[in-house]
Amino acid sequence: MPHSHHSHSGQFCGHALGSLEEVVSEAIKQRFEVYGLTEHVPRYRLEDLYPEERGLSLDDLSKQFLKFLNEAHRLKEVYAPQITLLVGLETEYITDDDLNHLQKLLQDNERRIDYIVGSVHHVSTIPIDFDRVTYKKALANFSGEEGVYILGNDQMERFLSAYFDAQHQLIRQFQPEIIGHLDLCRLYTPSLDLKQYPIAWGKLIRNIEEATRYGALFEINAAAFKKEGWTSPYPGKDVVALIQEKNGRFALSDDSHGPRTVGQYYLDVADYLVRVGITELWYLDRSLEPNHNGRCISPRRIEGDWRLHAFWKHREDERRGIAFQ
């Protein structure tokens, strides 16, 4: 303790800050024991590049990811006495072509990728986490025939169902070790009650059961706290309750986007874990035996009460110190 399984750096991600080594140094400073380095995989269509990437070619993005793997493994070796670094990736699923490329990427780098964070950021090829305008465009894509705009549950039901179907395809085909921000689909509607959409809710149940069956860990993603309207990490308490009902297991992620956000909101996460009754936490660790994907990584349960670890006491003391200033 503590651990994080999901992070980014400005060196290899256009919407993050700082170098990868600066992220690692901050994780060491904050007494992380295991820290996952997981840049986004490349995208393979020019129209899928974000504004900050417009000057890059598709070949640039592919080369950049390979440079990330090289640097991550260098840091893994250099800082081994101080921290366990895991080298992974965060998926993209925009079109089926992304999954074909991901399969090849994994095959070409099978000994260099410790694990996968399985995430979906697009619905019907449109980003759902870039900004509210683009999210509304993705939602409007589920209007009625001939552009008739559908209000209410039907349109949202279709949108959520498409998101969970994409997630299911990713889970079924690649069996990621970490399930990333499971309910990102309600980023801009944090109070949305997913149970009010029975078709989509059923698909979410299917996804959780599928991931639990092969032993995935569901990340508690602290980054949601910085999003407008969110008072919890991803996933929200209704989804956490469902994961608990299905005997799923949880792991921590800060989803940092630079050194300043390493470990950010972890005390808020700790409060949340207590409120929703999560008493067990898991993390990924190296293993001599390959897992279901042939990667030498496996989940391990944190022994004892995670709340008694010195990390949390140290962070709580810091919070009290700030309060007294």
Q: Name 93's Cβ contacts closer than 8 Å, sequence gap at least 6.
A: 99, 120, 121, 122, 166, 169, 170
Strand partners, 244: none
For the segment 237-246, what is each residue's pLDDT rounded down to a tens digit? 999 999 999 9
Write down the pLDDT at residue 71.
98
pTM for the full predicted model: 0.94
Write down the pLDDT at residue 317.
67
Residue ranges, the chain, pLDDT below 70 = 1, 144-152, 307-325
Write down the pLDDT at residue 153.
78
Write down the pLDDT at residue 148.
47
Q: Where are the beta strands (DSSP E) in 205-267?
A: 217-221, 249-253, 256-257
